[in-house]
Amino acid sequence: MRLIIRTIVVLAIVWIGLLLSGYGVLIGSKENAAGLGIQCQYLTAQGTSTAQYLHTDSGIIGLSNCPILRKSQTVVDNG
């Protein structure tokens, strides 16, 4: 029972941190447009957001992988 309560408390703290910071965590990615682009999905405190980047395997032009964290456009507490 203690483990369940601690897990819920930790998840609540992480959610509040995401809400106040405006960051999202990568939950999925897929290539689109014949491999020229990459679409990344992020979980934020307000829901999910999608970002599209130019993609190359080498990473010289564009990104080779999605960033793990991404700042969203809207932040709840801007200080």
**Number of domains observed in the structure of the chain:** 1
Q: Which of residues 22 and 3 earns the better pLDDT score?
A: 3
* Residues 27-78: tens digit of each pLDDT: 999 988 677 888 999 988 888 888 888 888 777 888 888 899 888 765 555 5
Does residue 77 sit within a domain?
A: no
Task: Tell whether pTM > 0.75.
Answer: no
User: Is 39 among the domain residues?
Assistant: yes
Domain that includes residue 33, residue range: 2-69
CA angle 55, 43, 2 (to 5 degrees): 140
Inside any domain, residue 64 = yes
Query: Does residue 76 lie within any of the structural domains?
Result: no
